[in-house]
């Protein structure tokens, strides 16, 4: 769940990429043959968190001080940079998933989505945002999730509409939105927009809202 309010006042330097990356990025992606292998790979190589844009430090619930102090702006990182750091929020991890499906998953149809409560460029407990990837195989749809803690895994559904409704309900249940907050809920499918090609989180949210496909 991308939520900068869960931040660190005490953080750790980003680990040297050689400590985590064994082969080249593309070589590692090619070794992964199935979505199940991708999920296992991400579980082994990535923890939830982000790298601060200004200080280059890692902010993660696995590290002391998570949720304390003022939240820094996260760096929006490419899939390769996410893997090298060993940490990624849902935006970064979704892009890594997308990269694998684009280059190795020819047999799968896939889509990426942004769920949002609130408006504007702020992202916090009252205005949360989450990205995810879903894919289709053998007439079934699957929700690929590696950052929404209580729902991590690959979940099968009969159709896309049922999948999206289930994810929507689970996303909302993670927070305590008021009726007014719920009126601002949006679910977008986005394709061309990439977080790491944007200057800041607000630009990504704005571009998805302008360029993405709004569901329901």
CA distance 141 to 128: 25
Q: Is residue 103 part of a domain?
A: yes
Q: Is residue 43 part of a domain?
A: yes
Q: Is residue 7 part of a domain?
A: no
Q: Can you name the residues that pair with 8 across neighbouring β-strands?
A: 66
Note the pLDDT of residue 13: 39
**Tens-binned pLDDT, residue by residue, of the chain (216 aa):** 444 343 332 333 333 433 444 469 999 999 999 999 999 999 999 999 999 898 888 888 777 656 666 678 899 999 999 999 999 999 999 999 999 999 887 789 999 999 999 987 778 778 899 999 999 999 999 999 999 888 999 999 999 999 999 999 999 998 888 899 999 999 999 998 999 999 999 999 999 999 999 996
Q: Is residue 47 part of a domain?
A: yes
Domain count, the chain: 1
Note the pLDDT of residue 7: 30
Question: Which pTM does this prediction carry?
Answer: 0.86
6 within 8 A of 69, measured Cβ to Cβ: no
Note the pLDDT of residue 67: 61
Q: Is residue 144 part of a domain?
A: yes
Q: Is residue 2 part of a domain?
A: no
Pairing assessment for the beta strands 153-157 and 140-145 based on DSSP bridges = antiparallel
Strands of the sheet with 213-215, listed across from one edge = 153-157, 140-145, 129-137, 109-116, 186-190, 213-215
Note the pLDDT of residue 126: 81
Query: Could you tell me how far CA 15 lies from the centroid of its own chain?
Result: 21
**Which range marks the domain in which residue 55 is found?**
12-215
Report helix, strand and coil shares of the chain as percent, to nearest 5.
Answer: 35, 25, 40
CATH of the domain at 79: 3.10.620
């Amino acid at each position: 769940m991308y939520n900068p309010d869960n931040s660190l006042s005490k953080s750790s330097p980003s680990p040297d990429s050689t400590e985590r990356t064994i082969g080249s990025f593309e070589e590692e992606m090619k070794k992964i043959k199935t979505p199940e292998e991708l999920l296992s790979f991400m579980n082994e190589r990535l923890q939830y968190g982000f790298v601060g844009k200004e200080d280059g430090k890692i902010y993660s619930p696995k590290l002391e001080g998570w949720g304390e102090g003022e939240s820094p702006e996260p760096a929006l990182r490419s899939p390769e940079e996410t893997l090298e750091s060993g940490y990624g929020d849902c935006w970064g991890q979704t892009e890594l998933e997308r990269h694998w499906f684009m280059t190795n998953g020819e047999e799968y149809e896939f889509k990426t989505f942004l769920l949002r409560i609130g408006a504007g460029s702020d992202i916090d407990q009252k205005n949360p945002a989450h990205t995810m990837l879903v894919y289709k195989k053998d007439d079934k749809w699957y929700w690929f999730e590696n950052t929404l803690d209580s729902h991590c895994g690959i979940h099968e559904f009969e159709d896309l509409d049922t999948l999206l409704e289930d994810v929507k309900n689970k996303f909302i249940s993670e927070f305590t939105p008021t009726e007014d907050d719920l009126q601002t809920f949006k679910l977008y499918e986005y394709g061309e927009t990439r977080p790491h090609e944007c200057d800041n989180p607000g630009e990504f949210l704005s571009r998805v809202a302008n360029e993405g496909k709004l569901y329901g």
